[in-house]
Amino acid sequence: KALQIAEKLKDARVIIEREMGEEGKLFGVVTSQDIVREIERKFRVRIDHRKIELEEPIKTIGIQEISVKLHPQVKITLPVEVKKKKE
């Protein structure tokens, strides 16, 4: 099952839009739960948020490479782009 999920997500890119303050800072942060929700919504794949290896929540705009440990022997890298929410 982990290999099937890895295959589905191998070329995936997760995009999360957030509102920004005047100084270019995010309102709030992006957590592993936010990333899992977006993966489920966009790719119809369920992943436990604890499988997302995120040392701390994302606080800035841009692209970060996130590791997802689907199984002890199956690990993928997933680009997560955080960008400004369109008004």
Query: Which pLDDT tens digit goes with each residue over 34-87?
Result: 999 999 999 999 999 999 999 999 988 899 999 999 999 999 999 999 998 886
CA distance 62 to 14: 12
Side by side, the strands of the sheet bearing 52-53 are: 14-18, 74-84, 62-71, 52-53
User: Average of pLDDT values for 27-37?
Assistant: 93
